[in-house]
Structure 1
Amino acid sequence: MTTNSASARYEGLGKDGKGSITTRSGVLSDQPYGFGTRFEGKPGTNPEELIAAAHAACFTMATSFGLAKAGYADGTLDTQCTVTLDQADGGFAVTKSALVLKGAIPGISAEDFAKIAEEAEQNCPISKLLDCEITLEKSLES
């Protein structure tokens, strides 16, 4: 079993409040977040950005391990993830996580690449965690 942790602090309430996020690893240390960073494009992060980063990282690693298991020894994977936050049921909900994968894997067929990427999308831990629509676009560079 692996565990990780992070903490958030929010001073003030509602739109006027200001928050900060810190991770156990220290990669985020008092990183600012709040209404302005979430809805107004101000500097800092927000929960959906962090979810997008986690999903992109998890899915890309799962694809990498799937390719290695299938016998491929080299290549590059680049994933962009866009998480959508919509108003729903009188509040807000994450409604979609869209993954766009570009891969350069010597010797792989487009069919094998697609199969391995689709299995990774369905089975990476963050995909399993998310209760929203997940889409996957994939392209193989020669």
Structure 2
Amino acid sequence: MKRNATAVWNGSLKEGAGKLTTQTTTLKDTQYSFKSRFEEGVGTNPEELIAAAHAGCFTMQLSAYISEEGFEIESIETKCDIDFVDGTIITSHLTVAAKVKEITEDAFQQLVTKAEKNCPVSKVLNAAISSTATLV
């Protein structure tokens, strides 16, 4: 499988602006700029997109592991916080709330750790990755 996205940028770093389009067109000419990345501007930014990718990938990986163990998932919600300091993503923290029938806290935490280490986006990030998970 191969996926792609395209970025088009016009102008200088601070005054310019760009548009992002994904292969599926889920993002189509989505605005991004210096202000949306480093200040409070309209549009998205690469770190926000990485956070979305990490949350989505981790959640799917956790779902696979829980299902493989024979537990029934009602829901999993994951928030990802990316910490971008001095031009480097230094941390990615996953906050997970899950409703899973009949799973023990210990089994759940083990599967969270396994998913945290093994989802494809975790593997590509050169950052400290952590998580906080709660069964609800």
Unpaired segments of 5 or more residues in structure 1?
A: none
RMSD over aligned Cα, in angstroms? 0.7
Q: Equivalent residue for 2:69?
A: 70
Q: Equivalent residue for 1:33?
A: 32
The code of the aligned residue for 2:127 comes to: C
The code of the aligned residue for 1:73 comes to: E
What is the percentage of aligned positions where both structures have the same residue? 37
Measure, in 2, the Cα distance between the counterparts of 1:94 and 1:117: 22
Match of 1:128 among 120, 123, 130: 123
Match of 2:101 among 93, 101, 106: 106
Deviations 1:104-131 (A, max 9, x none): 1010100010011110000000000000
TM-score, scaled relative to structure 1: 0.94
2:63–2:73: 8 Å Cα contact kept in structure 1?
no
TM-score, scaled relative to structure 2: 0.98
Measure, in 2, the Cα distance between the counterparts of 1:119 and 1:38: 31
Q: Equivalent residue for 1:51?
A: 50
Measure, in 2, the Cα distance between the counterparts of 1:14 and 1:105: 46
Aligned structure 1 segments of 4 or more residues deviating by more than 4 angstroms: none
The code of the aligned residue for 2:25 comes to: G
Deviations 1:46-77 (A, max 9, x none): 00000000000000000000000000133210
Q: Count residues with an aligned counterpart.
A: 136
Measure, in 2, the Cα distance between the counterparts of 1:74 and 1:124: 18
Measure, in 2, the Cα distance between the counterparts of 1:106 and 1:113: 11
